[in-house]
Structure 1
């Protein structure tokens, strides 16, 4: 949360903008100087707003707010460079969302290390269809499975990667996640 910044002077002191009769009043000048201390961080933030919206320049504590605007999970990593890189790539990642390359790049940006994403492993799914109730007519059909193999730079919980893949992949595609401890 943003607050007052010790020693930050307001570029537009309120006392100097008052009529001359108030500029000579010591109490009014002290009172407005206190208001300047409160308003100075707001003015500074507004003067530098474009830098707050740039992932490369935004203050570290501002990154989660920026990620919230993009509906992006920054993960649990404390690596500031990785988090900034992830936010900077958000437009490209959303453009390629649901593709193998987009998922691979998103996982790499989140966890680092080596990431492999493969589609097309065949498994057999048995289904039953019965024109007359009770009679079984087993049918076999091929199904694709998304396989994700990751060796992250930092230890990561398998469930975290699995939840991310489940949210980022196409909904109809089953997936298997393998996290290799490095």
Structure 2
């Protein structure tokens, strides 16, 4: 970048694929053709740069913050703005595995471990029920519940409602839950 009387002037981005190289060799000797294609190179260089780096935009660990939120919509993941960006990136990066384990205690434990910086204890009622009929009546063989205790280094940073939303998303719908956040 050069400075001219206190005004910063950006140098044009060089094109990695100059158009003059793709024309017949007879045009390479013409200064008019070289200057004419250089004008297009200046315009196309920024587009080519984005296309060459598209892999970084779709990698949640490398993408700019606004792209991470956009990528989360690809997976149907709702991100809480109160989470640190590292946790948001981790949830998007592991979305497929988290969805695969959804509805299990292992999935709930993994989802909380990705989002939270601390220890998570999960206690559950145990047992399962199933039915060969679609839309069966709710099983009355006992109450299903999950109790989650989160011990974190900084409890003021954690939104209890955000943690409860993670639990609601990761546990089976019919299972009641309680949450306790401890320092």
Matches within 5 A, 1:57-68: 57-68=62-73
Instruction: Provide the residue aligned with 2:16 in structure 1.
Output: 11
Give the superposition deviation at 1:84: 3.7
State which of 157, 165, 168 in structure 2 corresponds to 1:166: 168
Are 2:145 and 2:176, in contact at CA under 8 Å, matched by a contact in 1? yes
What residue number does 1:24 align with? 31
State the shift of 1:68 in Å: 2.2
Shift of 1:79: 4.5
Cα distance in structure 1, aligned partners of 2:32 and 2:18: 15
Unaligned runs of 5+ in 1: 122-139
Question: Secondary structure of the equivalent of 2:165?
Answer: helix
Q: 1:86 aligns with which of 91, 108, 112?
A: 91
Q: Matches of 1:166 and 1:77 in 2, distance apart?
A: 16
The question of whether the paired residues in 2 share the 8 Å contact of 1:111 and 1:153 is answered with: no
RMSD: 3.3
User: What SS does the corresponding residue of 2:144 show, helix, strand or coil?
Assistant: strand
Task: Evaluate the alpha carbon distance shift between residue 157 and residue 78 of structure 1 in structure 2; reply closer, same or farther with a 3 A threshold.
Answer: closer
Question: Residues 49, 24 of structure 1: CA spacing in aligned structure 2 closer, same or farther, 3 A cutoff?
Answer: same
Q: 1:9 to 1:98 in 2, by over 3 A?
A: same
**2:83 is matched with which residue?**
77
Q: Contact conserved, 1:15 with 1:29, CA < 8 A, in 2?
A: no
Shift of 1:162: 1.5
For residues 12 and 66 of structure 2, the distance between their equivalents in structure 1, rounded to whole angstroms, comes to 20
Structure 2 unpaired stretches of 5+ = 1-9, 127-139
- The answer for the alignment partner of 1:97 in structure 2 is 102
SS at match of 1:142: coil
Secondary structure of the residue aligned to 1:25 is: helix
Q: Secondary structure at the match of 1:143?
A: coil
Single out whichever of 160-169 and 12-21 deviates more from structure 2: 12-21
TM-score normalised by the chain length of structure 2? 0.66
Question: 1:74·1:110 contact (CA, 8 Å) conserved in 2?
Answer: no
- Preserved contact between residue 58 and residue 71 of structure 2 (Cα < 8 Å): yes
Q: How many residues are treated as equivalent by the alignment?
A: 156
In the TM superposition, what is the alpha-carbon distance from 1:174 to its structure 2 partner?
1.5
Distance 1:18 1:153, change over 3 A: farther
